[in-house]
Amino acid sequence: TQLLEQSPQFLSIQEGENLTVYCNSSSVFSSLQWYRQEPGEGPVLLVTVVTGGEVKKLKRLTFQFGDARKDSSLHITAAQPGDTGLYLCAGDYSGNTGKLIFGQGTTLQVKP
């Protein structure tokens, strides 16, 4: 059974601080996606990483895919209250079948 371990589960920080969320697995993924979810809404895609070692930047968010395509990280620089939400990583383990395995999520609270 494929598992995607996401850590930390909860994070409460002050505005302006940096943070990193990790997503780890013993399985190799063909691709990995990061989503952000607001309460009462569906997740919204932030980024997809496909190539081992790939780094993508989205404003203050930096996403990295591990060389072996088994892990990923999300780094937020100078967090803002608007970054508050649930961050989810999701891996495609079945060779592009669309059957994603989701991590347990990281609830981020950024205090002003």
Footprint of another protein (CB under 8 A): 4, 6, 30-31, 33, 40-45, 48, 86, 88, 90, 92, 96-100, 102-105, 107
Minimum gap (Å) between residue 79 Cβ and another protein: 19
Residue among 32 and 76 whose Cβ is closer to another protein: 32
Smallest CA-to-CA distance from 83 within 109, 56, 47, 44 is with 109
Residue among 40 and 112 whose Cβ is closer to another protein: 40
d(CA 111, CA 97): 39
Residue among 20 and 107 whose Cβ is closer to another protein: 107
Residue among 3 and 78 whose Cβ is closer to another protein: 3
Asked whether the beta carbons of 75 and 19 are under 8 A apart, the reply is: yes
Minimum gap (Å) between residue 112 Cβ and another protein: 21
Minimum gap (Å) between residue 70 Cβ and another protein: 18
Tokens of 63: 């996403």
Contact residues for 7 (Cβ-Cβ < 8 A; gap 6+): 21, 22, 24, 106
CA 42 to chain centre: 15
Minimum gap (Å) between residue 52 Cβ and another protein: 17
